[in-house]
Amino acid sequence: MNLDEGQRKKVAEWIGQGLKLSEIQTRLVTELGVQMTYMDVRFLVDDLKLVPKDIERAKPVASPLAPPAQNEAKADRQPPATAAPASLSAPGASVTLSVDQLARPGAVVSGKVNFTDGNRADWYIDQSGRLGIVPQQTGYRPPAAEVQQFQSALEVELAKLGF
């Protein structure tokens, strides 16, 4: 439906007042006698190159691994070119881990861990933020204390990489 110049100015004024599209639709009928569907009002506002205040832009969803707002500058860094083992920062710790340069399929980030008894395992964090450990030896379960050391070291290492 075509509106004349005066009607278009009225719609622009209503947008400037912060009216929602549904309110504009109602006013078009009551004040101007113009019957339009909600979608027609949306197209009209778009054609007039107006931006209603009731439309909010989509905000990016925060990843469970996303760094805090104060560390956003770190997120721009690229991971190191190699996946060198990173020792735990805790004194006397003997669990070591590495972060893969290219994450395994289905994972956000992945790597390898060596436990004190010589057993190795692959680890990954999936899109839901869940940590998984896949031991090389079937049925192997690392001691609880070493799992805690591994998780602490992983948290430190991922923070260095901006996760």
The tens digit of pLDDT for each residue in 105-153 reads: 989 999 999 999 889 999 999 988 899 999 999 889 988 889 899 998 8
For the residues 28-47, what does the mean pLDDT come to? 86
Q: What is the pTM of this model?
A: 0.45
The tens digit of pLDDT for each residue in 47-81 reads: 888 776 645 555 555 555 555 554 444 444 444 44
Helices (H), the chain: 5-16, 21-32, 38-47, 72-75, 144-160
